[in-house]
Structure 1
Amino acid sequence: MSTAHTTPTAPKTVLITGTSSGIGLAAAVAAAEAGWQVIATMRDTGKADPLRSAAAAAGVAERVRIKRLDVIDAGSVTACIDEVLAEYGRLDAVVNNAGAGRVGTIEQGTVEDVRATMEVNFFGVVEVTRAAMPHLRASRGRLITVTSVGGVIGQPFNEAYCAAKFAVEGFMESLAPAAASVGVDVTVVEPGAVASEFVASVGVDVPAMLAAAGPYAPALQAYVDHALKTFGQAQTPAEAAAPIVDALTAEKPAFRVQTSDWAREFVGVKLTDMDGSGVQALMGDWLR
């Protein structure tokens, strides 16, 4: 009597950028819990201990592989993706999550500040996407990009950040139909306020910024007060990461996904605001 043997199906492989903290860390753990082989990347792998601890606590350490990837370094991007292909033979999904915030208004900053913000938040996404697309095409995979509600509605004192996220949204909205024609699903995920180290990563000394704000000081103070109140009611990184995993596993993911009821209501203002007056009124309220 012979016994039939079946070969286990290898788990699908997803590469996630910016996993040292926040949404990226939570998404890496949640995707591993959902059965994915996760390539969790970060610019500085010396900051990987929180991810290692979270993966171990969830019982998925064996499905989370940490690699270095700097999204603004083309060589780093190519080397990481080449390693993934050599080790796993395929790439089924990419989650573009790495990013950095910036607070300030252009009169009191520099064009170089804007370029640096665009480099990380926009060109980094383009770099990873370009390198990954041939492999996602081969696997008929998924391309998921974490943008922001700030990629739909421009917010005061977030000019550079919102410009970068607007650019990402336009890039992905344009790419999506072309990618779909070769079997790749594209999704953008739009969080609102998330309680994570992203806020700290903005690196703002609020008292110093207010002291240097000159004629913008009253509006900036009102914005800071509003932001602190909003982040006091923020989602957890795990809550914001859940729609990312849903997009990975859905039969047919939506192109645009918000991570909370607040985010859906907020971006809904823009998507139904034909003449722009609704957004301008809403943002004006933030500065009073």
Structure 2
Amino acid sequence: TKWQQDPFIGALVDGKLYGRGAADMKGGVAAFVAAVAMFDATEQAGSISLIITGDEEGDADFGTVKMVEWLKTNEQVPDVCVVGEPTNPVCLGEVIKNGRRGSLSCHLRVDGVQGHVAYPHLADNPITRLLAMLAPVNGTALDGGNDYFDPSTANVTSIDTSNDAGNVIPATVEARFNIRFNTEHKSEDLIGWLEEHFDRIGGQWTANWRVSALPFVTPAGRLTELMQGAILSVTGQTPALSTSGGTSDARFITTICPVAEFGLVGQTMHQVDEYVDAADIDQLAKIYHQMLVRFFEGEV
């Protein structure tokens, strides 16, 4: 292993807590457990639930998806939800995530006719058509963004012919690309637009699509203001609202209640020797505690 510390014991070294998931996002879970322990629930009407699921880093077919179904079926839908994702780039208190972009992936295959490069008239090079097909998704901004989101982006992630011969035109070529899209688009509209483009290029092609996330936003309002006030009271700074970055399970929770994300610093998440500053966990627990106090005082 490349780890300098045992990734499974939570080693505390020089004020840093090391371990797999320390930043993303076991540290956030620990902070909220501590916040609940500090909270005086005497004479409070209501409930506090900690929803901790698996499958978040995978295909997300189970986990929070199934939990949301259970909450609805059992009439346990929360009024609001805070997700403990590591939202801060450098220091605690910088950023609240109040939305996320959608994610659309494509596996595109283009078929041609194999042949000798010296006799291209006897072949049909699928790479030529593939490059034309990929033009709209080759690092291009797809819109101008809006009040909550930066422009949607598209990037090619792989191109493969499985052809090692320098003098052979391949019979097929495959490519993969991903689009991170904002609320200016629907996934079905993006698919339709691109498939029309592929048809205009012509030839034989197949595309397999996967929508792993839809975009959402929780507009600035009572929930984000409560969170900003709690963070300001502990850290002395007012966090910005952001919808940047990857997807999160908040995309499922937004279907049942207002949701926003705030947690630890994410600089080392998923890295060898992932760690968080232990002091940040203490501070985050105080922030979450303030959120609970303000919520039950009626700020949301």
| TM superposition score normalised by structure 1 | 0.24
Q: Taking CA–CA contacts closer than 8 Å with sequence separation of 6 or more, which of the two structures ends up with the larger relative contact order?
A: 2
- Larger helix fraction of residues: 1
- Larger strand fraction of residues: 2
| TM superposition score normalised by structure 2 | 0.23
